[in-house]
Amino acid sequence: MEGPPRFECPLWCMLCRGGKAWLRQLCQGAGDVLRLPNSLLSAKLPQLCDIHQVPKVFQEDGITSGYRHPRSSALDCVLSSFQMTNETVNIWTHFLATWYFLWRFGMLWCSVDFVSESYNWPLLVYMLLICLYPFTSSCAHTFSTMSPEARHICFFFDYGAISLYSLGCAITYASYVMPNCWVNSWLHQHFVPFAVFNTLVCTGLSCYSRFLEMPFPRRSKILRTAAFVYPFIFDNIPLFHRLALCCEEDGCNPGEALSTHCCHLIFAFLTCFLFASHLPERLAPGRFDYIGHSHQLFHVCAVVGTHFQMEALLTDMTSRSAWMAANAAVPSLPGTVGALALGVALNLGIIAAFSAILLRAPRRRPASHDAKAEPSPELKEQ
């Protein structure tokens, strides 16, 4: 008797074996993926340092503890955002703000024609930039402890994004905030080109100020503050004029938008004050290391101020659209998206130039990169 027919099919067997191997690989891969969160959770949270354990370039006035390792890996930097350090609130305040502004942008996208209606292009540029600056800041604070060089480059990008945000303000102020009596004036026509020039000055001075931080800390702080205050004052000239001289019959709707503009100005002043004063931690060093120090309050005030500015701009944009359409030239592509593209290119060029100086000329580095700050398993007292 013949036994049961044997099913001999080399191709089938090969496929079957290949399939088994493939299935085994797939299961192993899935297992690795499933194990990944566990390995992340079991990873040791980075060790924190006191002020004396980090190089001078990382030290902040009035903050004595909660510093991350000055040679953290990228993974440690990301993990540290889930650990309470003196940077955690800085990271999250601007990360959450990014999502808030993205959400507002998304809602506007549903109701405003940003593509074919040129009157809305300035708002498009502004919304992009108010999402960009908190996101860049959040990334800068997250990865600033990878090395002294990384710290400087992270904050070069942070300054560049703030500088571009001021350009976005100028583009919207020229289109929606300019007082009626200044529309079509010489200042109005040259407002955006001046603002593009201002981004060069702002980014250039603020990046340069990092090179003065160690030898001349006071001069560095004054220069950096001036670098940001100068474009802010320029951008707000039309608003200051409206606040000082505008009247009801001028058609500026003083009650409607100007009160919200005033809220923005109050928070902008607070932002500047906190940035320059280092209060409250200067009065009680060590008390506000984790929560409540000036940079965290500075972030919060900047975001709240930007929120009021956005609301005021939206009010002006809506209430003045008919008057602007009848009396002013419609915003052009070169004057809005083109100015943004030029600003981005110029800022990236400045950041690249300062980064190249930083990386190629160790002697001219902006801060003392203490040799003792080289990576070591245990941080030594310096």
DSSP letter at 59? -
Shortest separation between residue 299's beta carbon and Zn ion, angstroms: 6
Helical ranges in 116-174 per DSSP H: 121-143, 148-172
If the CB atoms of residues 89 and 346 are measured against Zn ion, the closer one turns out to be 89
| Site residues for Zn ion per CB under 5 A | 137
CA–CA distance, 203 with 191 (Å, rounded to integer): 18
CA–CA distance, 50 with 70 (Å, rounded to integer): 11
If the CB atoms of residues 161 and 169 are measured against Zn ion, the closer one turns out to be 161
Which residue number is nearest to Zn ion in terms of Cβ?
A: 137
If the CB atoms of residues 242 and 293 are measured against Zn ion, the closer one turns out to be 293
Shortest separation between residue 58's beta carbon and Zn ion, angstroms: 14
Tokens of 103: 């959400």
Shortest separation between residue 254's beta carbon and Zn ion, angstroms: 34
Find out whether 346 and 200 touch, Cβ atoms under 8 Å.
yes
Tokens of 360: 């190629």
* Residue numbering of the annotated binding site for Zn(2+): 141, 295, 299
289: nearest Cα among 145, 102, 144, 84? 84
Transcribe 46-111 into DSSP letters. Answer: PPPB-GGGS-GGG--TT--S-BPPTT--HHHHHHHTTS--TTHHHHHHHHHHHHHHHHHHHHHHHH
If the CB atoms of residues 300 and 340 are measured against Zn ion, the closer one turns out to be 300
If the CB atoms of residues 137 and 294 are measured against Zn ion, the closer one turns out to be 137
Shortest separation between residue 205's beta carbon and Zn ion, angstroms: 17
Shortest separation between residue 96's beta carbon and Zn ion, angstroms: 14
CA–CA distance, 98 with 94 (Å, rounded to integer): 6
Residues in contact with 328: Cβ distance below 8 Å, sequence separation at least 6, in sequence order: 175, 178, 183, 184, 188
If the CB atoms of residues 58 and 121 are measured against Zn ion, the closer one turns out to be 58
Shortest separation between residue 335's beta carbon and Zn ion, angstroms: 30
